[in-house]
Every structure is written in C-alpha cells, then in structure tokens.
Amino acid sequence: MLLALAAILAAAKLGGHLAVRIGQPAVLGELVAGVVLGNLDLAGVGWFRSLTGDPSIGVLAQLGVLILLFEVGLESTVREMMKVGASAAAVAVLGVVTPFALGWGVGALVLPQHSPYAHAFLGATLTATSVGITARVLKDLGKTRLAEARIIIGAAVIDDVLGLVILAVVAGVIEAAASGAALSYAATALVVGKAAVFLVGALAFGVALSPRVFATAARLRGSGVLLATALVLCFLLAWVASAVGLAPIVGAYAAGLILEDVHWKDFTSRGERSVGELVEPVGAFLVPVFFVLMGMRVELATFARPGVLAFALLLTLAAIAGKQACALGVWGRGVDRLSVGLGMIPRGEVGLIFASIGLGLTLHGERIVDASMYSAVVIMVIVTTLVTPPALKWSLERRARPRLRDGAVS
C-alpha cells in the first residue's frame, strides 16, 4: 500500500509536469499517468491494475475528491451561488433532457433488437454530470471564482438530483414491468423529496449555524482545531448527502459553500492560517490519488472491439452534443456559454454507476444492459473525461485573450 501510494504520487507529479509543459491542465497528466500505469498489465506488469481494487487506495481517492469539491465550494458563497441559481437550474434541466433523448435515440438506432427499456436506460447513463474533472480544471487554471464555474458546478449538483430521479423512475418502471405491478409514485417522490430537503436544509442550517460552531471551536485549546472543525463539517454533510442517496461530493461542495472567511476570523486574528490554506496541502496529497486511480481504472483493452467502438463513438457524440444544449440555459450577459457546455461534458464515475445498476436489472430473464452496452458506456466515460481538460482550457482562454487585447484586464 505504501509503495503504491508513493508510485501514484510520483506518477501524478510527473504526469502533471508533462501536461503543464505542453500547455494542458495538470489533471490531464494525472489521468494519462493513471491510464499508463493501469494498462501496464498489457506489457506484463499487472501490479498497478490490481491496485484499482485496493480498498485503502480507494478510500484515499474518495477523500481526495471530497476535499477537492470542498476546496472549490470554499471559493464561493451561498449568496454568489444564489445569483447564478436560475442559470444553473436551466443548464441542469437542459443538460439532462437533451442527452437523455439523444441517448435513447442512439440506442433505438443502433440496437433496435433491444427493448425500449434498454434504450431509456442508455439515455439515463448520459444524463449525470461528474463534476470532479471540471472542478479540477477550473482549479488548475485559477478560474474557480468565475460565474461560469459556479453555473457548471451548481448545475452539476442539480443534475445529481435529477439523475437520481431519472434513475429511480427508469429502474422503477423496469421493475414494475418485470413484476407486472404499477410504478410506485410515492417511492419516486420520496427520492426527490429527501434530496431537496437535504440541499435546502444544509444550506439554510449551515449558514445559520456555522458561525456559532466556529465561534465555539475558537475557544477550544490545542492545535489543529480550525482544520478539524472544517473537515468535520465537510465529512458530516458528505455523509448526510450519501444517506439521502446523493453523491457524497454534493455534501462536501455544500459544506464548502456554507463556509466563509469571516467564520474563522477568531483564528486568523491570532495568526493561524485560514481553512483554504490549511486544506490545500491535504488536497495536494489526496486529490492526485483520485485522478490517477480514475485513469488506472481505464481498460484500454475495451477499445479493441470494433463493433463496440462504433457504437461507443455514437454514444460519445450524443453525450457531448447533448450537454452543449446547456449553453442555451445560461441567462445574463458576459458569461461564456461554450465553456459551460464543455464543462458539463464529463460523465466520470456517475455514468459508470448507472451502467452497473443497469447490468444488475433484468426484464423477463434478460439483462437490460448487456456487456457490449456496458463497454460502450465505459468508452463514452473515458472519452468525455479525457476530452474535457484540453477543451475547457482552450475555451476559457479563447475568451480571456480578446479581453486582454481590448485592455480590459479584470
């Protein structure tokens, strides 16, 4: 485990270095370093592939992505988030409806022999946005405070809720069809209700309570109290989020949003570092573990089957095109719509979770999602993940350049 951790960190920094050298975000290098390590089994070195199932590395990676979203959340406030709320909601809805329709269409076109349930499931795998990659690219480029960043991440949070609903409905419809019973509207409503209560409750309670929590914490003796208090809040909200069925990163992001610099003025006024500065080294250690592991989970061998590959390419195009509809949901001026659309592209682990749930569903003894459909979904996830860092960097800098030429340096 220790050797693995050392190898992963070293690979992350070397990969990050090479990516930055060719003008790409460091995260792309970490992902590619992971892809290389994970696929060394093709060259006879299977050790790294075996690490993808190691629970210890998995735990550190999961903490890494929590810390990342917490850090990104720290750079915005609930108030700033509210300002882009309407845009984020519109972006989220468009970013769920269009890919769902396109995914269904691709399924119906390429796999006419499968049931419409399978097509609907394929559409569902295209809906959820995995925000880790985009959050990291924005962080690598120092753009987390842009309105675009808040819209993308806000929309991804709402997507997570909508994805839950779609999954509950699609899985519910299939199970109802399989058992001949009616779809349980109450169960579906419960899923939505719990998620909504969490989001509203966490933000409202958090804003009201967190100043008091930190004021109390500031009276505690001993070192490391500020960092511990912030992490306790982050882990608690992540746990509550997962308890209501949302992704834990949604809770971590909410915790980051709630916290504001003013909360720890008691600490910083006596010379301690702020939460952002304290969390940064923790993230520098754990976040790369997540991205290298994500790269290591890519099995290049999946790309070798030509029939699957063509289907996967169509699915990927549907996934990318579907999220570009998000651009239409952005309200107000001065916001780069293309960047929002590109930022919504990555499907990451969320698409895989959907697909693996599909692998477990059967209708009249037949699996809803078969192995080749699953492979195609995996390829779609890989491509959308790897394509986002360079595309988003290009789009954000394309926007920055003319501004500089006009002399309007913000």
Question: What residues line the site for its own copies (CB under 8 A)?
Answer: 1-3, 5-6, 9-10, 12-14, 16-17, 19-21, 26, 29, 55-56, 59-60, 66, 140, 217, 220-225, 227-229, 231-232, 235-236, 238-239, 242, 248, 278-285, 288
Complex with its own copies: residue 108 or 284, whichever CB lies closer = 284
Q: How far is the CB of 372 from its own copies (least distance, A)?
A: 34
Q: Which is nearer to its own copies, 71 or 159 (CB)?
A: 71
Query: Contact at 8 Å (CB) between 388 and 136?
Result: no
User: Which of 19/391 has CB closer to its own copies?
Assistant: 19
CB atoms closer than 10 angstroms to residue 103 = 26
Shortest separation between residue 311's beta carbon and its own copies, angstroms: 36
Take residue 405 and report the two structure tokens written for it: 């030429």
User: 119: exposed, middle or buried (C-beta count within 10 Å: 0-12, 13-18, 19+)?
Assistant: buried
Residue 204 CB, shortest distance to its own copies, in Å, is 20
DSSP 146-198: SHHHHHHHHHHHHHHHHHHHHHHHHHHHHHHHHHTPPP-HHHHHHHHHHHHHH
74 vs 120, which CB is nearer to its own copies? 74
- DSSP state letter for 327: G
Task: Give whole-number Cα distances, 382 to 141, 205, 221, in Å.
Answer: 22, 38, 48
Q: Which residue's CB is nearer to its own copies, number 183 or number 225?
A: 225
- Which residue from 118, 117, 124, 148 is spatially nearest to 134, judged by alpha carbons? 148
Tokens of 62: 């999961």
Nearest to its own copies of 117, 198 (CB atom): 198
CB of 25 to its own copies, least distance (A): 9
CB 225 to its own copies: min, Å: 5
- Smallest gap from Cβ 387 to its own copies, in A, equals 20
The CA distance from 173 to 179, in Å, is 10
Rounded Cα distance, 121 and 342, in Å: 23
